[in-house]
Amino acid sequence: MMIIRKTAAELERMRRSGLLVHEILRKLAEMAVEGTSTLELETAACQMMADAGAKPAFKGYFVQAAGERYRYALCTSINDEIIHGIPSPKRLLKKGDILKIDTGVELNGYYGDSAVTVAIGEVGEETRRLMRVTQESLEMAIDKVRAGNRLFDVCGTVERHVVANGFSIVREFVGHGIGTKLHEDPQVPNYVDRRNENPRLKEGMVLAIEPMVNAGGPDSQVLGDKWTAVTKDGSRSAHFEHCVAVTENGPWVLTRP
């Protein structure tokens, strides 16, 4: 494991990338209404990135398991789709859906990465609770991103809150370090995996923390498109993500104002 600590100047560059991702997600969330296609969101995101002089972090990213490069700037995952849903003109949002929008940018050599879950119109109480608990687990994990704590403090915080509320953690997909590459060390599971190293957090580390939480069981499978991961039992899944830096003043969320 090689964890790259960032200087103050590098964190400021990552902050600019992070704020751009935040603004893109904010605008896409406003666009995500009944009848909108996920490809319309993709088109809008690409335009916003181009206007800002940024590159889509996901487009062209090679994933060994898929055996190919991803072709879009967004991952748009609906309902039982956990992550890596592919934008399509045929995927029209409907009332009662929940949409996970995950995106990242590379701006002046530094990456930002974030995700939100958006309700399309009114959703049921259990779905609202799923979204709330997932977001709460992220906020609680962010608070653990402090010098002197260990990685498992972050991971375990997500796991405990999610399980205590009767939901389950997706185990096949995890968060990650981030900086001049989209994915850097360390991996950041949303549970304590004692097979992994448990480094102490130090100033300058940046973690992309991204709880992926299922209403039903934890198991997932990848569809025939080789990208879209869904819950095996068809239950709904929620996903939120922020990039968080360890600083002398505590956690600094780079992907929100």
2 belongs to a structural domain: no
Q: Residue 130 sits in which domain range? A: 8-253
Rounded to the nearest integer, the mean pLDDT of the chain is: 98
Q: What is the pLDDT of residue 3?
A: 97
pTM of the model: 0.97
Q: What is the pLDDT of residue 41?
A: 98
190 belongs to a structural domain: yes
Q: Count other Cβ atoms within 10 Å, centred on residue 229.
A: 21
- Assess contact for 7 and 204: CB atoms under 8 A: yes
Q: How many CA atoms lie within 13 A of 21 on its CB side?
A: 34
Q: Residue 233: pLDDT band by 50, 70, 90 thresholds?
A: very high
> How large is the average pLDDT for residues 198-205?
98
- For the chain, how many structural domains are there in total? 1
CATH at residue 210? 3.90.230.10
1 belongs to a structural domain: no
- Assess contact for 45 and 28: CB atoms under 8 A: yes
pLDDT tens for 64-75 read 999 999 999 999
148 belongs to a structural domain: yes
Q: What is the pLDDT of residue 161?
A: 98
3 belongs to a structural domain: no
> How large is the average pLDDT for residues 26-54?
98
- Token pair in block for residue 223: 């569809």
pLDDT tens for 135-194 read 999 999 999 999 999 999 999 999 999 999 999 999 999 999 999 999 999 999 999 999
Q: Count other Cβ atoms within 10 Å, centred on residue 70.
A: 20
DSSP class of residue 4 equals P
**Can you tell me which residue has the tokens 């890596």?**
84
Q: Which ranges in the chain belong to alpha helices (H)?
A: 8-31, 38-51, 125-142, 151-164
Q: Residue 103: pLDDT band by 50, 70, 90 thresholds?
A: very high
Q: Residue 89: pLDDT band by 50, 70, 90 thresholds?
A: very high
